[in-house]
């Protein structure tokens, strides 16, 4: 019989957030919101806000029924990938974006 050494992970528990579900969806150091669901056609997208340690992110899952033809399915997958790239570029945190978050100069600006 050989002895095996099991690695032990020591994670520090973190407090629940104002937005997490405070139930089985939260782990010792990961907190998750309720799912936010949107439907379009026969597809569905789900966004979950997650805090893992000191990092927060939006987890996105989507179910997109694919066309029955290979050409159609490939077109859908290609379009999905292109649009996901555009989505990431549009909402990604860029240097300076969070710094002035409380300043909203466009709100008081008048058109004309």
Instruction: Compare residues 27 and 72 and give the one whose CB is closer to Zn ion.
Output: 27
Q: Which position among 3, 7, 13, 16 is part of the footprint of Zn ion (CB under 5 A)?
A: 16
Residues 28-47 that bind Zn ion (CB under 5 A): 31
69 vs 52: CA distance, rounded Å = 40
The residues that bridge with 30 in the sheet, in sequence order, are 52
* Using rule CB under 5 A, residue 11 touches Zn ion: no
Instruction: Compare residues 16 and 67 and give the one whose CB is closer to Zn ion.
Output: 16
Binding residues for Zn ion, rule CB under 5 A, total: 4
* Using rule CB under 5 A, residue 50 touches Zn ion: no
Paired tokens of 32 = 């998750």
Identify whether the C-beta of residue 33 lies closer than 8 Å to the C-beta of residue 19: yes
- Burial of 69 from C-beta contacts in 10 A (0-12 / 13-18 / 19+): exposed
User: Which residues lie near Zn ion (CB under 5 A)?
Assistant: 16, 20, 26, 31
């Amino acid at each position: 019989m050989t002895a095996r050494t099991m690695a032990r992970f020591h994670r520090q528990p973190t407090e629940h957030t104002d937005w997490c579900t405070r139930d089985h969806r939260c782990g010792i150091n990961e907190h998750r919101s309720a799912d936010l669901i949107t439907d379009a056609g026969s597809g569905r997208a789900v966004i979950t806000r997650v805090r893992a340690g000191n990092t927060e992110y939006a987890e996105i899952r989507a179910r997109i029924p694919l066309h029955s033809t290979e050409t159609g399915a490939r077109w859908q997958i290609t379009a999905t990938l292109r649009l996901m790239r555009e989505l990431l570029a549009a909402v990604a945190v860029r240097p300076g974006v969070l710094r002035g978050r409380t300043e909203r100069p466009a709100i008081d600006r008048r058109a004309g």
